[in-house]
Amino acid sequence: MSQDRNQVPYIPNVQPYTINPTTQMEYRRLAIIAVGLVLAALAAGLYLRQASTVATYAHDIRELEVRKEKLRYEIQALRADSGRLGSLERLLAAAQQMGYHQLAASDDQNRQTVTYPLQPSSGDRGLGEEISTSAKTNQAQEANLFRRLWQRFQAWLRADPGT
Amino acid sequence: MMNETLESGQQRRILWLLIVVAIAGAYLYILLVGWQLFVRGDDIPGLLDRGSTIPAVRGAILDATGHYLAVNTVQYELDITPRMLSGAQIERLVPSLAVILKRQEKDLYTEITNSNKSNYVVLGRELSAQTGRELFALEKELLNDTDKGIKFAMNAFVIAPSSSRAYPDDGIAAQVIGLINKQDVKTGLEARYDNVLSGVDGVRRNLSGQFFTRAGGYQPVQDGADLVLTIDRNIQAEAEWLLLEQAGVSETKSIRGTIVVLDSHTGAVLALASSPTFQPGRWQEWADQPKSAFINTAVSSQYEPRATFMPLTIAAALETRVISTELTYVDSGEMTLGGQKFINWDLSTRPAVTTATLTDTITTSRAVGAVYIASLMGSPRFYEMVRRFGFGEPTGIDLPSERAGDMQLPGSPNWVLAFLGFHSIGRALTVTPIQLAAAYGALANDGVLMRPYLVSEQRSGAEVTVTQPYRVRRVVSAEVAQSVTRMLAEAVAQGQSEALVPGYRFAGISSTTGKPGFDNLPRGVPTSAYIGYGPLPQNRYVVLVWFDESPPAYFGNDVAAPVFGKMVRYLMDYMGIAPDATNEVN
């Protein structure tokens, strides 16, 4: 079919594409709601995460506090035990078991006063000399001990690091 | 057109609604963040629960050598909730509990099963710390049992701890430490230092709300500070032993007695023993004990010092330069002052007229000499010196219920001149043992009066507060103090053999005293005392021994002096002070 160019060509009444304002509003609303939801979810997530962390810490703290309280009670008990173990009554009982007894301050018969420096009387000369000799021997032994310790210390200083 | 207007209005409303919702959301969000991060639990009223208290541990009391005299310990109570237990669980529980509680299985089983409807059954009270440890181990075992039929619920088994006071040395220095009972009655150091010993309870509070629960409002507990005393438990124990067993209260049948040992240079109290006393840990026995057992005799009892006051009169006269150490006077055996005749106690046995020195006055307790010296001084100077020695006011020792002593002073309606004579010989006035010991401490310490004290340190964690010795005042010059010391030492050497300790020189004097209202011995109610200090020349230790109502032997030299001698000998041994061969006679 030929086309008559004198005729006004048929142009359909096509409306240009436009967005319905109502539809546009719904998209915006959806977007806002979506963003709101995301933010709310984020806030809730953050809150839940924080609350759960706090609750965990609170539980840990509570457990530590309970443990601390038990330890405090244990310290109390140990202090009381140490006091009881060091009591005069117990010391006296232990000493009695070992064959000792408490000497009264006025008990002169079982009392020996040792004066220093030792000054033996004529009657005690033998004893005094013995004590004096014994003291000299002790001094010599102590001197030897220190000498030996010093030698060992020097030997250790001179030794190889690996030894 | 109309539709367009309608849509536009809807859009605006929706927009406003969104804005309002956004603002409200932002507000809530900010509030939430604020609560989570910045707001303290305490600032939100209504969200706080009452919380639970963490009880502070009461501080311990230690002696000078670091041993516990009073310390908190733990006792446990065991509660079971039978309705939370199955038969299998009870079968599992009973044998273990029987071993720990040292009870019959049958009894325990009956006790638990018969009270099946009860909320809980108390199976043990006041259980020891060791029992508590065993119960905790059992609880752990039961809670972690792999057999689900046996595994316990948390609340079925409750071990409740509580604190109680323990006294490891079973009542040493009980009068000093004092008591504390469940009715919160406190005496002694427990009362005086209650605010230090108590500490501050901690509080644990949980925030509770519809949306969240978190730990909050935690206030840490602050335990009480420990007190370290100047008292040495070994010296204290010896003093108490002397009072009770050796030669003190039981032997002399005195109703009360006290021994005070002071460090004259610092005022530190090394021993403060009183008898009768009580066992602080055994409150069940308190009802059977006399009331006097709870009175600290050394600070709360008053008596006439009599002869023990004369050296102080002499020191006062020397200090005010009314007399010199070379003074001699004619002692006729009696003297009148203010219309009152004063007679020497031994007038019937001593020659009526003698020439006496100051040392004689002390050695033989001549009332005439002391009254004569006081009359030379006159009232203003005498009473000023008495005040400077610390009489008429509490010493300030850190114990409650300290008494000041009674004395009529010039200016008071009942005072007459005769009181000057009475007071110069230690009559018609009362003092406490600690006052007298402190006054003699001044003579021993070259004339400087120190305040007696009992607590040397307060230890709170790493923080240590040390008590510094407190110098009250100079009472007399060092020369006067040394002169009187020489007289007192001479008195010991001449006439008080019971107080002598070979190898040591001590200054001292005995006194057969009376209580107010009882003048005539032996019909009155005598008290016997001995006070001394030494070893010379350092004069470090003051020892006072006092017995109340000690007939038939009532002379201070017979009753108190031997105990003084024993106490001094122990003290010299314990302190490692070697005897001096030159003092062998004394």
State ipTM.
0.74
Residues 6+ apart with CB under 8 A from B281: B165, B166, B167, B170, B171
Among B17, B63, B68, pick the best mutation site for testing chain A contact (most A Cβ within 10 A).
Answer: B68
Q: A40–B246: do the CB atoms touch at under 8 Å? A: no
Among A49, A88, A116, pick the best mutation site for testing chain B contact (most B Cβ within 10 A).
Answer: A88
| Rounded Cα distance, A114 and B25, in Å | 93
Identify the pLDDT of residue B456.
Answer: 95
Query: B224: distance to nearest CA of chain A, Å?
Result: 12
Q: B132–A115: do the CB atoms touch at under 8 Å? A: no
Q: For residue B19, what is the nearest residue in chain A, using CA coordinates? A: A32
Q: B129–A81: do the CB atoms touch at under 8 Å? A: yes
| Rounded Cα distance, A3 and B498, in Å | 160
Identify the pLDDT of residue B364.
Answer: 82
For residue B32, the chain A residues in CB contact (below 8 A) are: 43, 47
Residue A21 sits at the chain B interface (C-beta within 8 Å): yes
Residue B124 is inside which H or E element, if any? strand B121-127
Q: What is the 3-state secondary structure (H, E, C) of B537-549?
A: CCCCEEEEEEEEC
Structure tokens belonging to residue B198: 């108590």
Identify the pLDDT of residue B539.
Answer: 93
Q: Look-up: residue for tokens 């009770």? A: B244
For residue B233, the chain A residues in CB contact (below 8 A) are: 88
Q: Look-up: residue for tokens 């020349």? A: B537
The set of long-range contacts for B100-103, using a CB threshold of 8 Å and a minimum separation of 24, is: B100/B131, B100/B134, B100/B135, B100/B138, B101/B127, B101/B131
Q: Which of B11, B74, B570 sits opposite A76 (nearest CB)?
A: B74
| Rounded Cα distance, B204 and A65, in Å | 10
Identify the pLDDT of residue B141.
Answer: 82
A70: number of Cβ within 10 Å: 15
Identify the pLDDT of residue B208.
Answer: 53
Q: B566–A54: do the CB atoms touch at under 8 Å? A: no
Residue A76 sits at the chain B interface (C-beta within 8 Å): yes
| Rounded Cα distance, B331 and B373, in Å | 12
Q: Which of B67, B218, B503 sits opposite A86 (nearest CB)?
A: B67
| Rounded Cα distance, B121 and B113, in Å | 10
- Local confidence pLDDT in tens for the 586 residues of chain B: 556 666 777 888 888 888 999 899 899 888 877 766 666 555 555 555 556 788 888 999 999 999 999 999 888 988 888 887 777 888 888 888 899 998 888 888 888 877 656 677 888 888 988 898 888 888 888 777 777 666 666 667 788 888 888 898 888 999 899 888 767 778 899 999 999 999 898 887 665 544 444 445 677 888 999 999 999 999 999 999 888 765 445 555 666 889 999 999 999 999 999 888 888 877 767 777 777 778 888 998 888 888 899 999 999 999 999 999 998 888 888 888 888 888 887 666 666 668 888 888 888 888 899 999 999 999 999 999 999 999 999 999 999 989 998 888 898 888 889 999 999 999 888 899 999 999 999 999 999 999 999 999 999 988 999 999 999 999 999 999 999 999 999 888 887 667 778 888 999 998 886 554 544 433 456 778 899 998 988 999 999 998 876 655 556 667 788 889 889 989 998 998 888 755 544 4
For residue A32, the chain B residues in CB contact (below 8 A) are: 18
Q: Look-up: residue for tokens 């201070």? A: B556
- Give me the DSSP letters along B398-463: SSTT-----B--TTSTT--THHHHHHHTT-SB-B-HHHHHHHHHHHHTTTEEE--BSEEEEEETTE
As a whole number of Å, the CA-based R_g of chain B is 36
Residues 6+ apart with CB under 8 A from B100: B131, B134, B135, B138
Q: B129–A65: do the CB atoms touch at under 8 Å? A: no
Identify the pLDDT of residue B375.
Answer: 92
Are the beta carbons of B296 and B467 closer than 8 angstroms?
no
Q: A43–B569: do the CB atoms touch at under 8 Å? A: no
Query: B123: distance to nearest CA of chain A, Å?
Result: 21
Q: A70–B136: do the CB atoms touch at under 8 Å? A: yes
For residue B238, the chain A residues in CB contact (below 8 A) are: 105
Q: Which of B71, B215, B246 sits opposite A58 (nearest CB)?
A: B215
| Rounded Cα distance, B319 and B389, in Å | 12
Q: A104–B566: do the CB atoms touch at under 8 Å? A: yes
Q: Which parts of chain A register pLDDT below 50? A: 120-131, 163
Are the beta carbons of B323 and B317 closer than 8 angstroms?
yes
Of B466, B393, B477, B455, which Cα lies nearest the Cα of B267?
Answer: B455
Q: Look-up: residue for tokens 């009992």? A: B454
Q: Where are the alpha helices (DSSP H) in B244-398?
A: 249-252, 297-300, 310-319, 358-363, 367-377, 379-388
The tens digit of pLDDT for each residue in A105-146 reads 666 677 666 666 555 444 444 444 444 555 566 667 677 777
Q: How many Cβ pairs closer than 8 A exist between chain A and B?
A: 113
Of B502, B488, B494, B492, which Cα lies nearest the Cα of B561?
Answer: B492
